[in-house]
Amino acid sequence: MTVHVAGPYKAQGSDPGLDRQRPAADVSVPILMWHKVDDRAPSQFWVTATQFARQMAALKAYGYTPIVLGTLYDYVTGQGIVLPSKPVVLSFDDGYQNLYTHALPILQQYAFPAVAFIPTGKIGTTDRQDNAWDAPEAPYKAAHLLWSEIEAMAATGLVDFQSHTVTHPDLEAAGINVVWELAQAKHDLAAHVHQAVDFFSYPCGLGADSAAVQHQVRQAGYKAAVAGWGELEPLADANVWALKRTEVASWHDTVYDGDPSHCFMRLLDPAFPIPHITVSSVTCLDPTTGEACTQVRGGDSVLVRVTATNTGDAAVVGVSLAFVPDADPSARFSESHALAPAGKVERLFAASSTASFEFLWSVLADARFGRFQLRVAFHDQYDVLKWHETGWQLLAGRAGGAGQRHLKSCTLGNRKPDPQRHGNLREEH
């Protein structure tokens, strides 16, 4: 299990005044890597802005504190830095405009710092370049930043700009002037952002495992470098000339799709608990007698019992219900109000178990009757991770007389919700 450190650490070095001590083998700091944050995600190197916002909300809810790369370097090299209990580094490669237009506003919302690695030859002053140079990604056009946008982001104090060469070459390829790529990029950035350019990112990670290229990076005056790929690693094993990063791909999300490797939180903690939940039935009961309901009127209360099974990890979960009239999905029919002091159903859902979750459904006094649909959603205790959602399912049969509603139990499938039909519904958890 990943353990994050809160105390000071002083690493091996040349200063005899420092207390030399290697970090424990299980101490690590995730360095996450994004490329493009936009309205679409046509390949693995993109995430949507909505997806990115959910990821940042999850970091905040679970107590992670983004730090700048310089802070991590000072810690690893024994400068007596004290890290927060759950540090993480947020990094962006290749200098795309959507860092400015889509990612920055979300970073500002949370006051999260980040580091951006820039291939300076792709950055224009007035003429904007695009990613035509990147053959695999060229079909998905993406514009690069302008220097004015980089300067504006640097002025916010949230984005630290560091080197990613000039032309984004394979540094091990024949004919590449590695010395110039490293020196010129460092010069270009320093001239525009007026800050130290101490860190380097290997283009596509190529050269990160080459001792010769690492030596050239060091000779160019950099303090450390990050690789393009890699798993979460203990700091005791870290090589400051090839610090491992973890790519955040298009499939990494806070909405669970059934594949644990796609869960965003597993990038931060490989042991993060993931419940695998299926809903088998929903039953409507009279809250006084506990007997099955056969009809309901506006203003009535109904006890709704959701039965579900967890075949994954034990986890604290929250559950919510929502109802809409089938004839008018945009109208609010009723919302869930849980039978719990906190106002929502929340409990530990044990592994390999089946459990029932109960809600008090207060039918609106002026509700328009007819067929209606129900949705059940399971989420984490902070409501930032969604574990399971049934989609909209028909719950009841025909309408009764005098405004009555005949109810029946239903077995729920796993259909995806239709945002066009039901996107306007507000829920309470």
Bigger pLDDT: 366 vs 412: 366
The whole-model pTM stands at: 0.85
- pLDDT at 369 exceeding the cut of 90: no
Q: What is the pLDDT of residues 45-57, one digit of tens each?
A: 999 999 999 999 9
Q: What is the pLDDT of residues 299-309, one digit of tens each?
A: 778 888 899 99
Mean per-residue pLDDT, 289-293: 84
| Residues whose CB falls within 8 Å of the CB of residue 211, separated by 6 or more in sequence, listed in order | none
User: What is the pLDDT confidence band of residue 252, given thresholds at 50, 70 and 90?
Assistant: very high
Q: Which class is 277-422 in CATH?
A: mainly beta
Query: Are 53 and 34 within 8 A, CB to CB?
Result: no
- pLDDT at 244 exceeding the cut of 90: yes
Q: Average pLDDT, whole number, for the chain?
A: 83
Q: For tokens 């799709």, what's the residue?
A: 257
Q: What is the pLDDT of residues 1-28, one digit of tens each?
A: 343 433 333 333 333 333 334 454 567 9
Q: Report the pLDDT value the prediction gives residue 343, as an integer from 0 to 100.
A: 44
Q: Report the pLDDT value the prediction gives residue 285, as an integer from 0 to 100.
A: 86
Q: Where are the domains of the chain?
A: 31-268, 277-422
Q: Which of 98-102, 178-182, 304-308, 400-404 has the lowest mean pLDDT?
A: 400-404
Mean per-residue pLDDT, 110-114: 98
Strand, coil or helix: 151: helix
User: What is the pLDDT confidence band of residue 367, given thresholds at 50, 70 and 90?
Assistant: low
**Cα distances (Å, whole numbers) of residue 220 to 64, 215, 223, 224:** 33, 9, 9, 11
Strand, coil or helix: 297: coil
Q: Report the pLDDT value the prediction gives residue 329, as an integer from 0 to 100.
A: 55
Burial class (CB in 10 A: 0-12, 13-18, 19+), 257: exposed
Q: Report the pLDDT value the prediction gives residue 326, as an integer from 0 to 100.
A: 61
**Cα distances (Å, whole numbers) of residue 360 to 71, 231, 321, 323, 340:** 50, 45, 10, 13, 10
Assigned CATH for 31-268: 3.20.20.370
Q: Report the pLDDT value the prediction gives residue 70, as an integer from 0 to 100.
A: 95
Cβ–Cβ contacts within 10 Å for residue 341, how many?
A: 6
Q: Report the pLDDT value the prediction gives residue 232, as an integer from 0 to 100.
A: 85
Taking the C-alpha atoms of residue 388 and residue 307, their distance in angstroms, rounded to an integer, is 13
Q: Report the pLDDT value the prediction gives residue 395, as an integer from 0 to 100.
A: 59
Mean per-residue pLDDT, 271-298: 86
Structural tokens at position 56: 């940042």
Q: What angle do CA 260, 261, 262 make, to 5 degrees?
A: 90
Q: Which of 179-188, 203-212, 342-351, 381-390 has the lowest mean pLDDT?
A: 342-351
